[in-house]
Amino acid sequence: MNICSDAMDFYAKFANIFIDAWIDFTRTIFEYKNWYASQELEKEWLSKSREIFASKLKDENFVASLSTAVECYSKLARTIAIGQFYQNISNLTSFWNNFFIEPIRDTLCRTPDRTFACEECVGVFFQNFIRTRGT
């Protein structure tokens, strides 16, 4: 079963964008004459990179391949119920955190918090160990 073969087109186009930016970077480095003006070199390369990414990411073929890849992976997620699996794992880790990890963390090696008011009447939590250390 060849479910997401169309997504490979997206990956290839996305990789080509970065390859084009890398080629332009090396071309800019090798053609640059004044090596002491690194800020000018950086500005020149960044402007060329912005042009490459702006033009290639807005290309209709790239956008079409992106939408095809997203549609393909959405169908795949619905087919294999990965969303429900993720929800179950998330619920399990939340349960583990709330009923096991947090009570242990709250009882071991914790100093009691003390609340005091600021000039703006905002309650601020202050650890007692800072006060007891003399700072």
List, for residues 42-63, the tens digit of each pLDDT value. 888 889 999 999 999 999 999 9
Q: Poorest-confidence range of 18-22, 56-60, 79-83?
A: 79-83
Cα angle 60, 62, 66; round to 5? 115
Buried b (16+ CB within 10 A) or exposed e, 5-20: eebebbeebbeebeee
Would you state the pLDDT for residue 122? 45
Q: Which of 9, 16, 12, 3 is nearest to 64 (CA)?
A: 9
* CA separation for the pair 46, 28 (Å, rounded): 10
Report whether pLDDT(65) > 60.
Answer: yes
Would you state the pLDDT for residue 77? 76
Q: Poorest-confidence range of 7-11, 80-84, 94-98?
A: 80-84
As given in the structure block, the two tokens for residue 110 are: 């914790």
When pLDDT is cut at 50, 70 and 90, the band that residue 80 belongs to is confident
| Mean pLDDT computed over 61-80 | 86
DSSP 3-state assignment of 107?
helix
| Mean pLDDT computed over 105-116 | 61
